[in-house]
A and B are shown apart, each in its own frame.
Chain A
Amino acid sequence: MSRLSLFPDLDAPPGPRIDEAALRAEVRDFVARATRDGLIRPGRQTWTTFSREFSRACAAQGYIGMTWPRRFGGHERDPFERYVVCEELLAAGAPQGAHWIADRQSGPQILRNGTAALQAEVLPRIAAGDCTIGIGMSEPDSGSDLSSIRSRAEPVAGGYRVTGRKIWTTNAQHADYVIALVRTAPRGEDRYAGLSQLVVPMRSEGITVRPLRDLRGEEELNEITFDAAFVPQANLLGAEGDGWRLVNEELAFERSGPDRILSSFGLLAMLVHAVGPMPDRLAAAEIGRLAARLDATRALSLAINRRLAAGLPTGALAPMMKDLGTEFEQEVPEVARRLLDLRPSETGSEIEGALATAILGAPSFSLRGGTREILRGIIARELGLR
């Protein structure tokens, strides 16, 4: 069994040294202005909500590409500073869909594995809030079983031609690029071999995008069809055949952040406000139970991010955190609807609307970024089962 212990912890990395209070105050100022300007609508948006205007405002504040090198438009700040900004914006329910994926995982992926030409082309645009990137992993016949994908890239002069279909890509209709996992060699004995990641420019011939309306009535998810779409050679990440390793590297960053804890936080904050300063015993106990859970989950997320920043192994901690964090996110509306004497309504008051948004969005929390069942399988393997 190889289980990573956070207590007692023999190699705990040192805590961050930043002026956390000042940074939080600065972000809250920014949030207050954005709310006044109508860019943030509390409780009715999520971090996947697309708003180019809000992303540009974030970029102007220096809140995108915070840890990246300055030569790519980054700000060379401490990873914990980025963490603080992220959780403040998430807690405020800010619409970060135009830059979130690019800032969280695609940009760092290009920074680690992209060619110099690709880095120069894409990273400064992301940091400016002008570039949206989509994730091209799942396909109509390949959901959790990613190794079974059929999209393929054929080598041609100067690059590749990509043919196939990708699905569940958030904000693909607005995306400038999609990082697609494709077959560059036919499937053989090792089903994880022969896969590669390509950064596909979306404004090119042979690409069609079909939005899919979700339970909330939002058109954020999409299906993409590639019909011999051209991708320049410089847009290959790593080497041909690195795809599986790169996908997994990317997912470690996708599974340990505050976005896996705070998706329904806006509703919880409204619930506490609605209950008032003198809660009855039931309300106090239930809110306290959620507060304890949130504090503990946040502690785990912080510990993982500190380890990632220090280059220490994280074992199965990231899938554990995502499994438990999304359980918390899904529980919030269930507690709220028991404690408050109101009905969820998409056209109702602020809190009725927030309750409706949380209930209708909740099923996706434990699907996106790897289903709960896939995560538990990964954890079990780390524990030495299977």
Chain B
Amino acid sequence: MSETARLLDDTLDRLLSRRLADPQARADAGLPARLVAEIEDSGLPLLLRPEAAGGFGGRIADAAVLAWRAGWHAAPVPVVEMLLAPLAEHDGPVRLLQGQPPVGPQAAGAAALVVGPEGLAPAGGLSAFMPLSRREGARAGASGVPRDPALAGRILRWGALLTAAEMIGVMARVLEISLDYANTRSQFGRPLGRFQAVQHRMAQAAGELALTEAALALALADEDRPGGPDGLHWRAAKAQAGTAATRIATSAHQVMGAIGFTEDHVLGLYTRRLWDARDDWGRQADCEEALGRRACADPRGLWSHLVDQPLQEETV
């Protein structure tokens, strides 16, 4: 982690801790807009913008730490889109809607762009969309001529990596919440965590998280590879994050029992975000299918496909 990332992460952590400490804070409908404004004022979204353009010139691995932090707090802000938007700025500020099907945070104010495999295109026909995490969103069809496919490709890929990072933050917190509960809640005269069935569930959940962390770290390192990244690792990291999210949310709800199923408990804030994020910025099913097609089409065979340098550089 770079020094810049460490400082920005610290800033974001303090900001979110302060604003989300009061359990009632999230009931305020004005909170998300205020948080977004505050985060923008702090300059965090400039992390990925080149220094020449007034940004911090940060690396995607640094930005991923911020996405992780937002996930850990289940911050009701579109952190991935906020980090990526400065990359797509052309004539002024933009908001990004992820492609196929295009869904994203409400595109109020700034120009909305749909990011898809063909390029960036101005969004048309916006309609309100309410995801499971109840963060105001929009669906759009692309209108106008797509431009800059290379940039769109990078934004799609980085969107997947940042979403996986955010999910890892959410999952780390979910694991912590459920471990804490398992150690304090007693039934039949002993803490839940003493029951072997519960222990094994939690052990599996922790394993899924470790697997996702390792996959993301590998994919982030691949971004620095001479010749550009392979199409394998980022899709694998996003697909693995989806698998882990399903398993960890299931385990946490099982261990927490009925209280976790109510809005009296915070668990749902996190699991709603997880269930959504599986299909944000690279649907899990699309990532898996693309991985399968690429593997089958590689004339070098599966092993070479998995461990050697890619045959052709990815355009998307």
Q: Mark A71-106, 1 if CB is under 8 A from B, else 0.
A: 000000000000000010001000000000000000
Cross-chain contact A302 with B218 (CB below 8 angstroms): yes
Partner among B210, B292, B308 whose Cβ is within 8 Å of the Cβ of A288: B292
The listed residue (B206, B220, B290, B302) touching A383 by CB distance below 8 A is B206
**A91 x B303 contact (CB < 8 A):** yes
Contact residues on A (Cβ < 8 Å of other chain), bracket: 35 or more
Do most interface residues of chain B lie in helix, strand or loop, or is the interface mixed? helix
- Distance between Cα atoms of A294 and B175 in the complex (Å): 23
Contact A386 B193 (CB under 8 A): yes
8 Å CB interface, B220-234 against A: 220-221, 232-233
* Contacts known (A7-B216, A289-B288); A385 close to B199, Cβ less than 8 A: yes
If A289-B292, A376-B204, A383-B202 touch, whether A299 touches B308 (CB-CB below 8 Å) is no
A276's closest neighbor in chain B, by CB? Answer: B296
Number of interface residues of B (CB under 8 A): 65
Question: Cβ of B202 and Cβ of A291 under 8 Å apart?
Answer: no
Q: Are B217 and A303 in contact (CB under 8 A)?
A: yes
Q: DSSP class of A's interface residues: helix, strand, loop or mixed?
A: helix
User: A285-B289, A299-B218, A385-B179 known; A5 and B213 CB under 8 Å?
Assistant: yes
Question: Number of contacts between A and B (CB, 8 Å)?
Answer: 193
CA of A87 to CA of B303, assembled, Å:
10
- The distance from the CB of A370 to the nearest CB of chain B, in whole angstroms, is 13
Residues in A with CB closer than 8 Å to B172 are 3, 5
1/0 per position for B227-267, CB-CB distance to A under 8 A?
A: 00000110111011001000000000000000000000000
Once A273-B301, A386-B199 are accepted as A-B contacts, the answer to whether A8 and B1 lie under 8 Å apart by CB is: yes
Write out the residue numbers on chain B whose beta carbons fall within 8 Å of the beta carbon of A302: 214, 218
CA distance A299 to B210 in the complex (A): 10
Q: Name the interface residues of B173-223: CB closer than 8 Å to any CB of A.
A: 175-176, 179-180, 182-183, 193-194, 196, 198-200, 202-204, 206-218, 220-221
B207 touches A323 (CB 8 A): yes
B307 close to A385 (CB less than 8 A): no
Q: Among B202, B214, B218, B285, which residue has the most Cβ atoms of chain A within 10 A?
A: B214
Binds B, one of A9-17, A149-157, A200-208: A9-17
- The reply to whether A278 and B296 contact each other, CB–CB distance below 8 Å, is yes
Residues of B within 8 A of A316 (CB): 203, 206
Residue numbers in A under 8 Å from B65 (CB-CB): 8
What are 29 A-B interface contacts by the 8 Å CB criterion?
A1-B180, A4-B210, A7-B64, A87-B307, A91-B303, A269-B301, A269-B303, A278-B296, A285-B288, A285-B289, A288-B287, A289-B291, A292-B236, A292-B243, A292-B291, A294-B306, A295-B215, A295-B218, A295-B236, A296-B215, A296-B237, A303-B217, A320-B207, A320-B211, A321-B211, A324-B211, A376-B204, A383-B202, A386-B193
Interfacial residues, chain B to chain A (CB-CB below 8 A):
1, 9, 64-65, 68, 165, 168, 172, 175-176, 179-180, 182-183, 193-194, 196, 198-200, 202-204, 206-218, 220-221, 232-233, 235-237, 239-240, 243, 285, 287-293, 295-297, 299, 301-303, 306-309
